[in-house]
Structure 1
Amino acid sequence: MPFHKIVLAGGNGYLGGVLAAYYSPLAEEVVLLSRSKAPTRGNIRTVVWDATREGAWAAELRNADLLVNLCGKNVNCRYTRKNRQAILRSRVRPTALLGRVIRRLTHPPALWINVTSATIYRHAEDRPQDEAHGELGKGFSVDICRSWERVFFAAETPGVRKVALRMGIVFGAEDGVFPRLQKLVSWGLGGPQGNGRQYVSWIHETDAARVTEWLLHHPEMEGAINCTAPYPVTNEEQMRIIRGGHWGLPAPAWLLSIGARLIGTETELILKSRWVLPTRLENAGFVFKYAHLEDAVAEIRI
């Protein structure tokens, strides 16, 4: 096997499951740091931590080929004061804790990836945003991402390569955004959302996992890296592709606002235009398996 140990902090969520399944045949062991116990599945085992203080779990980081930090409260909620504090705390505190632990290890992870978000860039309908020419946005979500990355890069971890992976919306069959959009389509509600012109920067779950492995093999890559497919689409295009030619009722912004309040979420998650390109990955030679949304949706539906 090419790898000894892969550690996924906060790895009991959707993307953690994707990464665990991906690395299971590639590594001797995959370790999930989780707040709750779970049975061992083959070479995937769970170690309990509370993400706030050092404990026996710290030993799991020794000699790891890769640490991926996936910690963070789901942002699919109302941005009340309590939720805002929880969203920030659930990202910054585990990141700072991991940095303190890694600094003291004699054999720390070779690569530490912090999965952040492509929403760090501004609302963009005029031109795409990338690592070199992108403009950071304003507002709560952007402030969270900036604080998150600031703590990550400020951690003193000599000898550890660090990548802030600015992840787009992950598409997969089992969980995440796609099943929810598919359900809207099945109800006849799969038309454009808002004016439909806002961009969606997405990535197929397989490519999201492939990027992390590719980074392991490319030691020259570090810093902030966009993890999105090279061909983002508008919301209108996204919904048309998912509908597969069927009609869908449009949802204007005012209706989305009412619906968001009823289900306890924020319209920003739908209406913000995230036009983000993976320039650094492509320039360094990474080839996406699913570059076009049509191909990604077709694979998910198989």
Structure 2
Amino acid sequence: MKLLLTGGTGLIGSALIEALWERYQITITTRNPKKAIRRFGKKVHAVRGLEEIQDISEFYAVINLQGEDIFAKRWTTKQKQEIEQSRWTITRQLTERIKESSQPPQVFISGSAVGYYGPQGDEPVTEHTVVEADDFAHHLCAEWERLALAAQSERTRVCVIRTGIVVAEEDSALQQMLPPYLLGLGGPLGSGEQGFSWVHLDDIAGIIEFLLEQEQCRGIYNGTAPNPVKQKKFSACLAKVLRKSHFMRVPAWVLKLVLGERSMMLLEGQLVLPERTLQAGYEYKYPEVEAALRACLLPSS
């Protein structure tokens, strides 16, 4: 069966390719097809964009993970627009192609993020939680999801995944957190009381694969581990795994000064529970944060 994957060279997309290439003929969209082929070899067919896809009906499924790194640059007005359009434009195009097709793909899986929930303090939230947020991350995700869900029909089932903070051995947010801990200067961010909804790379890739192959699954699913923690607990656990001290605290005002509006993603979190993901039957490899961190940081132990 053929599968179209946008964002295939990213962290999650790359893990998916490794998991699926033996059972699916995978086409990825990328700005540099030659580089992608050097990386993945015969595991993928690479094209520059949807304009090179003549007929989307040739694909059994479409998985949409494309989007500008939300944390890479300061949130100027221009950067916010780039973050939005990098997600909204491709999702709109895919939905239009699916709806126009006489034989559309049977499955459309599209990304989103736990930023949809906005600041929630220490109150756990699930896919059923009614959200009344008014921040950039919520509006970004809400429109992203609306565009994807518009492709839903009797012939195409749509799943939207609200992904948490992904931890992995390489190239994830975890590696960006490490330097102060390795120097023995780790500690909570701000109050440390904010929710920290995380997921191991193997599990977010596993959830997407699970939803791809479970015909009864459609709608919103949280792509997070079943045991979210407060940020101070995640921080303490990270220090424990690294066998480093944990006594420094980064004041909220420092993060706001350095990161600007982006600091809210670190200072105002959520405790997101994957209720529908668990009910659907997905079994987590890493449900607990310490085991996930050990797998990422001490893989040979």
TM-score of the superposed pair, with normalisation by structure 2: 0.90
1:19 aligns with 2:8: no
**More displaced stretch, 104-113 vs 286-295:** 104-113
Counting only pairs closer than 5 Å after superposition, residues 65-104 of structure 1 correspond to structure 2 as 65-76=60-71, 77-104=73-100
Counting only pairs closer than 5 Å after superposition, residues 1-302 of structure 1 correspond to structure 2 as 4-25=1-22, 27-38=23-34, 39-40=36-37, 41-49=41-49, 55-59=51-55, 61-76=56-71, 77-155=73-151, 159-244=155-240, 245-248=243-246, 249-260=248-259, 266-301=262-297, 302=299
| Residue-by-residue CA offset, 1:114-145 (whole Å, 9 max, x unaligned) | 11011111312242011123424221111111
**More displaced stretch, 85-94 vs 132-141:** 132-141
Shift of 1:42: 2.3
Structure 1 residue runs of 5 or longer lacking an equivalent are none
Query: 1:184–1:23: structure 2 CA closer, same or farther, 3 Å change rule?
Result: farther
Query: 1:198–1:210: structure 2 CA closer, same or farther, 3 Å change rule?
Result: same
Give the helix-richer structure, 1 or 2.
2
- Number of aligned positions between the proteins: 290
RMSD value, Cα: 1.8
Residue type at the aligned position of 2:251: P
Residue type at the aligned position of 1:120: Y
The whole-number CA distance in structure 2 between the counterparts of 1:71 and 1:217 is: 21
Query: 1:82–1:299: structure 2 CA closer, same or farther, 3 Å change rule?
Result: same
| Residue-by-residue CA offset, 1:216-269 (whole Å, 9 max, x unaligned) | 2321211111111000011111111111242132101012122325xxx72012
TM-score of the superposed pair, with normalisation by structure 1: 0.90
Q: State the secondary structure of the residue aligned to 2:99.
A: helix
| Residue-by-residue CA offset, 1:60-103 (whole Å, 9 max, x unaligned) | x4343321111211111222110111111111111110111122
Query: 1:225–1:260: structure 2 CA closer, same or farther, 3 Å change rule?
Result: same
The whole-number CA distance in structure 2 between the counterparts of 1:104 and 1:169 is: 35
| Residue-by-residue CA offset, 1:146-202 (whole Å, 9 max, x unaligned) | 111112222465511101111111110111211111223113332000000111111
Q: Is the 8 A contact 1:198 1:235 kept in 2?
A: yes
Structure 2 residue runs of 5 or longer lacking an equivalent are none
Q: Is the 8 A contact 1:67 1:112 kept in 2?
A: yes
Residue type at the aligned position of 1:72: G
Q: Is the 8 A contact 2:122 2:195 kept in 1?
A: no
The whole-number CA distance in structure 2 between the counterparts of 1:24 and 1:267 is: 38
Q: Is the 8 A contact 1:120 1:136 kept in 2?
A: no
Residue type at the aligned position of 1:251: V
The whole-number CA distance in structure 2 between the counterparts of 1:276 and 1:267 is: 19
Residue type at the aligned position of 2:68: K
